[in-house]
Amino acid sequence: MTNVSGGTLRRRPAQRRSVERVERMLDECAKLLDEVGYEALTTKEVARRAEVPIGTFYQFFPDKQGLVRALAFRNLEAFLDRITTRLGDTDLSGWTELVDLAIDEFVAMKRSTPGFAVMDFGEVLPTPGGPALRGTERMLDAALENNVVVADRLRTITIDVLGAPVGPELDRALVVAVEAADAVLKLAFRTAPEGDPELIAECKLLVRRYLAGHLPS
């Protein structure tokens, strides 16, 4: 379900029909990102393919950027839900497994989720692995970069699951870890369409070794 709590929509869909329309528009947006890319994406085509009047589109989204911003929030929620679900099915022996699990879920979404290869959590990638389109680094929050928002959401899971010590040191470490993982995974998907497995393994190793100085063993 779309995350509308952060003001991603102009109007909150109250009826089931409206919710379904919003989801269809986001679905078609994701598919079109794969098919034509961000620059060629149009609100008119999204509305046409979602089978909603263009006026209905503008009831919920102010413009194309507002549409992809809502999709970025939905992607983030889906990623966090996948991690939470996996955690419920897994008996972790330590935090290193949480690192591997999170990276595996991100890679799986890159490979299979419509539009995720072009825009995962807000940054628009005109080509696989970047570089990102200017002006999209703060899609989730006008004041914070996307990776800072992602790190903050992962911080909640880290504290809940691992009982990690709360404080600025953990906050900073998670931002660094997310930035590092983001850079290496971009390289992995520049190297191979499905993500170079050796680089993905190196990403896990890098993050585990870095966090070893910040998380309890």
pLDDT in tens, 101-134: 999 999 999 999 999 999 999 999 998 888 899 9
Average pLDDT, the chain: 91
Query: Does 10 map to a domain?
Result: no
Give residue 122's domain range.
Answer: 16-211
pLDDT at site 14: 61
Confidence of residue 6 (pLDDT cuts 50, 70, 90): very low
pLDDT at site 13: 66
Query: Does 217 map to a domain?
Result: no
pLDDT at site 3: 42
pLDDT at site 10: 58
Query: Does 6 map to a domain?
Result: no
CA nearest neighbour of 107 among 9, 193, 19, 213 = 193
Query: Does 76 map to a domain?
Result: yes
Global confidence as pTM: 0.91
Neighbours of 195 (CB within 10 A): 23
Could you give the CA distance from residue 11 to residue 58 in angstroms, rounded to a whole number?
Answer: 9
Query: Does 134 map to a domain?
Result: yes
Domain of residue 93, CATH code: 1.10.357.10
Instruction: Name the packing angle between helices 64-89 and 146-162 (round to 10°).
Output: 20
Report the percentage of the chain scoring pLDDT > 90.
76
Asked if residue 109 lies in contact with residue 79, where contact means CB atoms within 8 angstroms, the answer is: yes
Q: For residue 36, what are its two tokens? A: 């034509």
Q: Which residues pair with 124 in a beta bridge?
A: 119
Query: Does 216 map to a domain?
Result: no
Higher pLDDT, 91 or 209: 209
Confidence of residue 2 (pLDDT cuts 50, 70, 90): very low
* Position 1 pLDDT exceeds 50: no
Q: Give the chain's domain count.
A: 1
Could you give the CA distance from residue 102 to residue 83 in angstroms, rounded to a whole number?
Answer: 6
Query: Does 5 map to a domain?
Result: no
Report how far apart the first and last C-alpha atoms of the chain are (Å, whole number). 36
CA nearest neighbour of 117 among 129, 103, 135 = 129
